[in-house]
Amino acid sequence: MSLLNLKHIKKVFSEGNESEVQALKDVSFSVEKGDYVAIMGESGAGKSTLLNIIATLDQPTSGEIRLNGVELSHLSENEASKFRREHLGFVFQSFNLLDTFNNRDNIYLPLVLSKKSHQFMENKLAPLSQTLGIENLLERQPSEISGGQKQRVAIARALITDPSLLLADEPTGALDSNNTEKILSVFERINEKGQTILMVTHSAQAASYAQRTLFIKDGKIYNELYRGDQSRSQYLQKIIDSLTALESNGEVR
Amino acid sequence: MIQLKLAVHHLTKSKSQSLPFILSNLMWVTTTYIFLSMIYNTNIRENEYGAVANYVLKLGLIFVILIAALSTFYAERLLSKQRTQELGLYSMLGLTKNNLRQIIFLENSLFYIICTIIGGILGITFSKLAFMSLKALFGAASLHQTFTLIPLVYVAVIFAVIFLMIILFDFWRLRKVNPINLWAKATKPEAEPKSHTLLAIMGMIVLALGYYVSVTVKPTGAAFGQFILAIMLVVVGSYLVFVTASISLLKALRKNQSYYYKPNHFISVSNMLYRMKQNGAGLASISLLCTSILVALIASVSLVAGQKNLINLWSPRDVQIVAKAPLSTSAKQGINELADKHQVTMSDPQTVTVTTPVMGVLKGNQFKAQFNTKTESTFSSLDLQQYNRIQHTHYHLRSNEILVYAPGTNYSQQTLNVRGNRYQVKKQVQSFRGSFVYGHVIYKPIFVVAANQKIARQINPQPNVYAQGFNTRGTKRHQKQFASEVQRFLKIDPSNFTSKYVMGDLLKAMFGSLLFMGILISIVMVCATTMIIYYKQVSEGYADKHNYQIMSKVGLSNKETKKAIRSQVLTVFMLPIIGAVLNLGFALPAIKSVLSLFSMYDLKILLTVSFVTIGVLIISYLLIYLATTNIYRRIVEKN
Ligand SMILES: Nc1ncnc2c1ncn2[C@@H]1O[C@H](COP(=O)(O)OP(=O)(O)OP(=O)(O)O)[C@@H](O)[C@H]1O
Ligand SMILES: [Mg+2]
């Protein structure tokens, strides 16, 4: 059975209003354990909406969504919180680190919420901070480190719970090319270790690191690419071609 | 003028910052005005007790001005941090330092003008309304209010000084930074507060000094300066301690891993620590205001509760005449006739003969006659035979032995030195049914019982006075009329004539107005406290909102949010009330001695009233806490 399964997901904002928006019309796909999936599409296509629904931060208007066999659209608010904490990790474009904590405590946050012991948290953090190269940043405040470093701290926070699924919404959107490269190679490495990743991105370069790319347009999945055994540059070219097709198609319509 | 435009622009643009600042300032202006108008626009000063009340009011005024100045200073500092960024931008665009100074000056002047004008109007309206409604409630008919401009002028001057200091401080800070720093400073998020061990220790020392002064101060005319000193020390000390000690406390809590890494504590400790620099000052203000509410209420309620005792202290009988000689037969005859005329029966006649009381000070075991600002007691003597007769006791005294009756003075010495002689105190007696207050003065009476007349005269060589009293029975109106006619008939001045019924009315009015003042002050302070708490919660709610949103994405459920908020707000709220009760503990001796100026010596009443008042305050405080927590939660949870 797949790790994540979406069937005919539909999302309508302000239903029945004049300002009604059909953000997602009919989205179905599934993600296997160990997958690395990129989601691309124009601004306003509904990528963030889709991610929020998978993240249990929002509920679909209709359709089924299952993660680890749990039907997400039926969760109560408190159950959703618990589910997020135990099964999901998040990385955001704007880092979303808390200024009130130092970096170490920012990373500990989800574990503290799960009432884990301090010893447990320390044991978890040690290998993780090494993988991410943030051992020397832990005692500093988020305001005292660079954007790329912040994103690595945020990734550590997302991974420290061993989530079944790592969700990332434009994780490199606020970073320069050098830092983007670093973050993407981190993702690649943790994926190789078995971490399932679902990443929304605007950058073809970022998507080229993934094994699979979904293209969303007007609230529907428009196209899907698999990397297979292509080289990165070959795959990148394919993604760019697809994007061009996506855009020109938009103009024709 | 471009500077004025920029100042106005900034003031209106950052409404979320400047509006609370204006509101809290308005509150301080209004409070100050109300105090000033009670001091200058009422007839409170007109009698001896009123003069003492006035003195207490002036202490209250100084207290209010101090807190107003400190919290305004603090609020403006937060506001100017915001402004710094704007000023940095202007200076990059080519405005000179001088221009910037003009902007700062204009902006603060605008604040000042808005606050004094509106605050003045609010103050006038509020004190008028309060007077009318509370008068209707208590019927304090002897308290009048007249309108003069003096309080307004004082308010304007006081706040002009405060704002001038703020402007100078801003100038000074402007001088230290160059345009690039100005720009960079505001964009950087607040760094974690440092612990200031030195300041914390200093704060505790200052506070301890303040406590020491307030415990030791004696309520004489000379003590005004000492009271002010105590108030200043406690206010400054409270601010220092709250600002520094709270940070140290939170850091210590954070170090304790088994405490810190619990969901509630984790969030609340870090949130509070992050904002403690602002928080500390707010907490100190709340704590001090709660203290003042307690002091005002306790003092005025105890006075009213002890009112009955006061009349009994003045005179043991319903009617008492104090004279240099026993009443003549014709005078007695006249009184009898008046009694018949007013259908009043007289009973229990009693004459107490004592040496004329002298004013002075009891220091250690030494009584020294003196009449100046240090005077505390009146001192007189009588012979044992009289005492035994009145009290139905059988004491025996040797020629060097005495009994001491000193209500309100805890005289624990074995001996008493007076006029070069030393006497053995055989006992400090707890009752003397002949005790009276000579001339209705505000000093504590001391009576010394000696073996015989000769020794009594040796102790106090003044001529005898005769306190002659009797009880009366009849209708209340008749008794009152009778008493007034007796006074007129004997032609004695009011200070040597006591009638419980006439006096009772007078005192009721007098203490009614004191109670009224106490309640008025408390209401003003409660409003001030509530406002501060409310704005603290609202502004923090907006500041914390983003954090809670992030945490909810990471998996903080609604239930846990509620718990974390409760834990945070509770900690923040418990500190000031603990501080207030502690302050009160050290203020009680001072309250007790000020109350003794009103001849209120009953410690039991004072303590009972204190406990009840603290209970009421904590309950109301909890209610405010619950209400504001809800507001805070709604802001935080709203998307
Ligand atoms: N809370 C909301 N209420 C109403 N409409 C919304 C809401 N959130 C999103 N939308 C609308 O739904 C559509 C999809 O938005 P979404 O944020 O998913 O786009 P996106 O693909 O993430 O775009 P971008 O790449 O710019 O982030 C947009 O038209 C947006 O205006
Ligand atoms: Mg988006």
What CATH number did the domain enclosing A107 receive?
Answer: 3.40.50.300
Q: Is residue A16 part of a domain?
A: yes
Distance A215 CA to ligand 2 centre (A): 14
Same-domain check for residues B442 and B529: no
Answer yes or no: is pLDDT of B208 > 90. yes
B212, pLDDT greater than 80? yes
- Per the structure, the complete domain to which residue B492 belongs is given by 316-496
Q: Which chain A residues have any C-beta within 8 angstroms of a chain B C-beta?
A: 55, 57, 77-78, 80-82, 84-86, 88, 90, 92, 96-102, 105, 108-110, 112-115, 117-118, 121, 141, 143, 157
The Cβ of residue B612 has, within 10 Å, a number of other Cβ atoms equal to 13
Angle of the B224-255 helix axis to the B197-216 helix axis, nearest 10: 140
SS3 of chain A: the string is CCCEEEEEEEEEECCCCCCCEEEEEEEEEEECCCCEEEEEECCCCCHHHHHHHHCCCCCCCEEEEEECCEEHHHCCHHHHHHHHHHHEEEEECCCCCCCCCCHHHHHHHHHHHCCCCHHHHHHHHHHHHHHHCCHHHCCCCHHHCCHHHHHHHHHHHHHCCCCCEEEEECCCCCCCHHHHHHHHHHHHHHHHCCCEEEEECCCHHHHCCCCEEEEEECCEEEEEEECCCCCHHHHHHHHHHHHHHHHHHHHHC
Q: Do B10 and B158 fall into the same domain? A: yes
pLDDT of residue B86: 73
A136-159 per-position pLDDT tens digit: 999 998 888 888 899 999 999 999
Residue B172 scores a pLDDT above 90: no
Task: Tell me, rounded to whole angstroms, the distance of Cα B130 from its chain centroid.
Answer: 19
Could you give the percent of chain B with pLDDT greater than 90?
A: 10
Contact residues on chain A for B189, CB-CB shorter than 8 A: 99, 143
Taking 50 as the threshold, does the pLDDT of residue A191 lie above it?
yes
Over residues A207-218, mean pLDDT: 92
Residue A45 CA, closest ligand 1 atom number: 21
pLDDT value, residue A165: 93
pLDDT exceeds 60 at position B139: no
Q: Final residue of a domain: which of B444, B463, B496?
A: B496
Number of domains in chain A: 1
Interface test with A, best of B553, B561, B637 (most A CBs within 10 A): B553
Confidence of residue B20 (pLDDT cuts 50, 70, 90): confident
pLDDT at B5: 80
**Last residue within a domain, chosen from B188, B206, B234:** B188
pLDDT above 70 covers what percent of chain A? Answer: 98
CA distance B536 to chain A (A): 18
- Tens digit of pLDDT for each residue in B78-87? 777 767 767 7
The confidence score (pLDDT) of residue A9 equals 93
By Cβ distance, the residue of B188, B262, B556 closest to A81 is: B556
In tens, the pLDDT along B559-577 reads 888 888 887 777 777 888 8
Give pLDDT, residue B142.
59
Contacts of A55 in chain B (CB under 8 A): 553
- Whether B506 and B475 map to the same domain: the answer is no
For residue B470, the cross-strand partners are: B319
Assess whether B304 and B252 both reside in one domain: yes
The CB of A201 under 6 Å from ligand 1? The reply is: no
* Residue A224, pLDDT above cutoff 80: yes
State yes or no: pLDDT of B29 exceeds 60.
Answer: yes
Q: How near does any CA of chain B get to the CA of A101, in Å?
A: 6
Please tell me whether residues B299 and B336 are part of one structural domain: no
Position A252 scores a pLDDT of 38
**CA nearest ligand 1 atom 26, residue:** A43
pLDDT band at residue A177, thresholds of 50, 70 and 90?
confident
Q: What is the band of A251 on the pLDDT scale with cuts at 50, 70, 90?
A: very low
Judgement on whether residues B335 and B213 belong to the same structural domain of the protein: no
Mean pLDDT, rounded, for B270-276 = 81
Region B576-584 average pLDDT: 90
* Domain limits for position A148: 4-248
Q: Which of helix, strand or coil describes residue A91?
A: strand
Same domain, B597 and B508: yes
Q: What is the pLDDT of residue B351?
A: 87
- Computed over every residue of chain B, the mean pLDDT equals 82
Token pair of A155, please? 């990734």
Q: How many domains does chain B have?
A: 3
* pLDDT for residue B185 is more than 60: no
With a cut of 60, say whether residue B615 has pLDDT above it.
yes
Is B558 within 8 Å of A77 when comparing Cβ atoms? yes
Whether residues B329 and B439 fall in one domain: yes
Number of other residues whose CB lies within 10 A of the CB of residue B19: 13
Q: How many residues does chain B have?
A: 639
Residue nearest to atom 20 of ligand 1 (CA): A44
Q: What is the pLDDT of residue A19?
A: 83
A253 within domain boundaries: no
**A253 pLDDT tier (thresholds 50, 70, 90):** very low
What is the average per-residue pLDDT within B514-518? 76
Say what the pLDDT of residue A35 is.
93
Mean pLDDT, chain A, as a whole number? Answer: 89
Residues B206 and B160 in one domain: no
For residues B419-448, give the mean pLDDT.
85
